[in-house]
Amino acid sequence: MINFIFGIHNHQPLGNFGWVFEEAYEKAYRPFLETLEEYPGMKVAIHISGPLIEWLQENRPEYIDLLRSLVRRGQVEIVVAGFYEPVLAAIPKEDRLEQIKLMKEWAKSLGFEAKGVWLTERVWQPELVKTLRESGIEYVVVDDYHFMSAGLLKEQLFWPYYTEDGGETIVVFPIDEKLRYLIPFRPVDQVLDYLHSLEEEDESKVAVFHDDGEKFGVWPGTYEWVYEKGWLKKFFESITSDERINLMLYTEYLERFRPKGLVYLPIASYFEMSEWSLPAKQAKLFVEFVNELKLKGMFEKYRVFVRGGIWKNFFYKYPESNYMHKRMLMVSRLVREIPEARRYLFKAQCNDAYWHGLFGGIYLPHLRRAIWSNIIKANTYVKTGSFIKDIDFDGREEVFLEGDNFYAVFKPSYGGSLVELSSKRRLVNYTDVLARRWEHYHGVDVAYNGGGVSSIHELEKRLPENLRGEVAYDRFQRFMLQDHLIPEGTTLDDFRLSRNDELLRLPTRPYSFEVFENGVNLWFEEEDFKVEKSFRLMQDGFVVDYVASGKGILAIELNLAVQSVMEKPEVLNVREIEVDDKYAVGKFKLEFDREVMLWKFPVKTLSQSESGWDFIQQGVSYTVMLPLDGEERLRIRFREV
């Protein structure tokens, strides 16, 4: 006989579209729970994230009622996490404790005293032991890859273990990777055959499946496979009637058996994350290395020694993620004693917008927008004023300005650029524009041709021909008041596709600066070139005065997080331009003290998603062309309308 624990994790990111919640509910969450109700002998450990809980409570309270009844019947064990689904390793301990407490209180409202944690993205670091024990948690669910990274063999990974840090212990259950790829993508008989193959005399042996609930209806092809073709019903029927399989919940297992022994898990997540979190060039090499081992039939033997990056690498890989994360940490320290503000802070800790793997993640502007909205809202509960500080922990100071209605943050070390312009009234960061990057999967084709239904990891991905000419990769991050010195004759296409020459590479040069009330002066001088910009926050936006001299064209780029779809680049001769972006940042104006040539083009990134490729507008670049012939002056005004 083999013990078997079956668990699901239901999650929708904060800020996701309402229709996505609705579709996931109709295709996965509702039919799964209704099917479970039909099989009283079936037991499931369920984790539901806070953003989804709040949506269900408001829009589908009947789901919560059904869940509560299944808890009372003993069919469901609630497994908790940080309420708004943060990566616990990426937030302060004070916030971890409160986030777990919030979800335990919700579980209690269903009549369940939660003792276990679903570790978001299975991101483990040893010091979490103390936090979890302080939260009243007795066990945590992680991947078998964590254990293999600690040196354990696959055959040792069918038991829970204790792990210790600072004299405190917690039980860790390993999720079986093989089951993650079998369920629900392969025929039920294959799942049963695998479970039967695990039988042995040790009655404490247990196989654990715990994975995304969206696999049961939302992932491509799974609704037809799981429900219309009856996979889930057949699975429940087979598992509950198979005398060789003993279905259990985590708490039931721990009441009956003791963990196998003591292990020390390294910082880790699941195996795929170790690929995704590497910088792109190294990720490509990692994939090549893994494929080479597989071709030689050596991967399974040596995979215990194959490790890539860790989740926090995303803060190195994507500077936009790092800045957003460090601003969140800054606000966390500021509002620790303000309960009303902390709720917004906790929402800003939702993990999805901080990273990118198989799904869009940081590439999805609406997810980042939700994070920024809550960072800004939480920040408004305290008055910080203006200060100079290394906000993003890169060893270089930023200038933080607070006005009545805006936060403005300059990075003198990066071309004196405006890296954040956040509106307290609209709760948007106008500079939230992701740069275009080469990712290691660009140009990689993957396909699965076996039986059953393809997992997302196996879907074929080939770049459509119509996108090839439009895909470009940026040399710099995309900020506001970002200066470029470019040669005469540079074309709009050269500039927007990052094919232009850069004289002096101004976006990466350090500017000198001095701060004054509600503003900052920044300047750069080298040989025969000089540029100075004097910035002041206003009630409705800002004014910046440029003075520049030298040879070439000073291109002053303002990247704005505009989501109104723009298909074609434009060359405009204007004194002002008004933008009404109903999808994201709202209505604003750019005004100039004389007519200027303005280059306008969309910034679009290429990323993979569950359905193939996404070519996403991250924002729009508005670039003022200022030909230099002696000294030139220009005033730019940005204002909300």
Phi-psi region of 288 (alpha: psi -120 to 50; beta: other; left: phi over 0): alpha
294 in the same domain as 153: no
Give me the mean pLDDT over the 420-447 stretch.
87
What's the sign of the alpha-carbon dihedral 379, 321, 371, 583? positive
Q: Is 517 part of the annotated catalytic residue set?
A: no
444 pLDDT above the threshold of 70: no
The per-residue pLDDT for 456 is 43
Q: Is 121 part of the annotated catalytic residue set?
A: yes
Give me the mean pLDDT over the 245-251 stretch.
97
Residues 6+ apart with CB under 8 A from 517: 386
Give me the mean pLDDT over the 514-542 stretch.
96
For the chain, give the percent of residues with pLDDT over 90. 91
Closest CA to 206 of 145, 164, 144: 144
Q: 162, exposed or middle or buried, with CB in 10 Å at 0-12, 13-18, 19+?
A: middle
Residue 398 lies in a domain: no
394 pLDDT above the threshold of 60: yes
The per-residue pLDDT for 496 is 95
488 pLDDT above the threshold of 80: yes
The per-residue pLDDT for 464 is 67
The per-residue pLDDT for 567 is 84
Q: What would the pLDDT profile of 135-165 be if each residue is shown by its tens digit?
A: 999 999 999 999 999 999 989 999 999 999 9
269, 293, 324 — which closes off a domain? 269
The per-residue pLDDT for 448 is 32
Q: 397, exposed or middle or buried, with CB in 10 Å at 0-12, 13-18, 19+?
A: middle
Give me the mean pLDDT over the 476-499 stretch.
96
The per-residue pLDDT for 210 is 97
76 pLDDT above the threshold of 90: yes
DSSP 8-state class, residue 33 = H
Residue 402 lies in a domain: no
Q: What is the CATH number of the domain that holds 127?
A: 3.20.110.20
Pair of tokens at residue 19: 């229709």
Distance CA 452, CA 470 (A): 36
Name residue 411's beta-bridge partners.
417
217 pLDDT above the threshold of 80: yes
The per-residue pLDDT for 445 is 40
Q: What would the pLDDT profile of 90-147 be if each residue is shown by its tens digit?
A: 999 999 999 999 999 999 999 999 999 999 999 999 999 999 999 999 999 999 999 9
Residue 601 lies in a domain: yes
Distance CA 175, CA 198 (A): 14
455 pLDDT above the threshold of 60: no
388 pLDDT above the threshold of 90: yes
Return the higher-pLDDT residue of 465 and 487. Answer: 487
The per-residue pLDDT for 463 is 66
The per-residue pLDDT for 452 is 53
Residue 409 lies in a domain: no
251 in the same domain as 300: no
Residue 564 lies in a domain: yes
288 in the same domain as 240: no
Give me the mean pLDDT over the 48-59 stretch.
98
54 pLDDT above the threshold of 60: yes
What's the sign of the alpha-carbon dihedral 441, 443, 444, 445? positive
| Full residue range of the structural domain in which residue 117 is found | 2-269
In which residue are the tokens 């219309």 written? 228
- 457 confidence band (pLDDT: 50, 70, 90): very low
487 in the same domain as 633: yes
The per-residue pLDDT for 482 is 98
Q: Which one of the listed residues 95, 98, 121, 432 is annotated catalytic?
A: 121
Q: Which one of the listed residues 23, 26, 54, 212 is annotated catalytic?
A: 212
244, 269, 294 — which closes off a domain? 269
- Collapse the DSSP code of 456 into the 3-class scheme (helix H, G, I; strand E, B; otherwise coil) and give the result: helix
Positions of E strands within 438-585: 482-486, 512-516, 519-526, 529-537, 541-560, 570-581
284 in the same domain as 161: no
Residue 575 lies in a domain: yes
Give me the mean pLDDT over the 43-70 stretch.
98
299 in the same domain as 175: no
197 in the same domain as 80: yes
Pair of tokens at residue 292: 């080479």
513 pLDDT above the threshold of 50: yes
Name residue 475's beta-bridge partners.
none
**Mean pLDDT across the chain:** 94
Residue 416 lies in a domain: no
Distance CA 496, CA 490 (A): 11
- 428 confidence band (pLDDT: 50, 70, 90): very high
Distance CA 38, CA 572 (A): 64
Dmax (CA) for the chain in angstroms is 89
Give me the mean pLDDT over the 485-513 stretch.
96
- 530 confidence band (pLDDT: 50, 70, 90): very high
Please give the C-alpha separations between residue 552 and each of 531, 601, 636, in angstroms, as whole numbers.
12, 22, 20
Please give the C-alpha separations between residue 152 and each of 44, 159, 199, 496, 497, in angstroms, as whole numbers.
27, 12, 20, 51, 49
Q: What is the CATH number of the domain that holds 627?
A: 2.70.98.10
Residues 6+ apart with CB under 8 A from 288: none
Pair of tokens at residue 385: 């004023």
Give me the mean pLDDT over the 64-80 stretch.
98
Residue 232 lies in a domain: yes
Cis peptide before 184 (omega within 30 of 0): yes
Number of folded domains that form the chain: 3
617 pLDDT above the threshold of 90: yes
210 in the same domain as 284: no
CB of 368 closer than 8 Å to CB of 428: no
- Collapse the DSSP code of 431 into the 3-class scheme (helix H, G, I; strand E, B; otherwise coil) and give the result: coil
284 in the same domain as 253: no
CB of 363 closer than 8 Å to CB of 607: yes
Give me the mean pLDDT over the 24-47 stretch.
98
Distance CA 150, CA 153 (A): 9
The per-residue pLDDT for 360 is 86
